[in-house]
Structure formats: C-alpha cells, structure tokens
Amino acid sequence: AGASGFIGRKLVAVLQSKHELTLLGRDVKKLSHYEGPITLLSWEMLPHIDARNYDAIINLRGYNVAESRWTDI
C-alpha cells in the first residue's frame, strides 16, 4: 500500500525492472498509470488474496507528515 505516494512512486520505479509487483490502493485508477507486468488491487480485493503467494510485502500507507505543522510552537 502507498504506491501512489511520494516514496511509493520512486520505489515502484526502482523495483519494477527486476521484480513482479502487485500494487494495493484505495483507488486502482490512481495506480493505472504504471506500465509493465504490474498487478493492481483495491482494498476490496484484499480478503481474496493469499499473502503466502508473495515474497515480500511493503506497506507505505501512512499519515501525510507534510500536511501540517509537527509542533504547536
């Protein structure tokens, strides 16, 4: 998860040349610009996926730390 974010886009660019990728996101349309042998999944599809079929899972989903101030000072 997180493939459409800042780090995710860079990571996909590096990994896709040597690995078969499956990208997970809330909106598959946001991920559809990726080319090559990439499988796209939405969160609704996740219960039907067997995680044992994957060698690694990278979760980049998280809070946008650049969205607001980190402190109240």
Q: 2: closest CA among 19, 18, 21, 20?
A: 21
- 38-42 and 21-25: which strand pairing? parallel
Q: Considering the chain, what percentage of its residues have pLDDT values greater than 90? A: 0
- The H or E element containing residue 23 is strand 21-25
Q: Which amino acid is at 15?
A: L
pLDDT at position 59, please?
A: 82
pLDDT greater than 70 at residue 47: yes
The pair of structure tokens assigned to 73 is: 């000072």
pTM of this prediction?
A: 0.69
Between 4 and 52, the higher pLDDT residue: 52
pLDDT at position 63, please?
A: 67
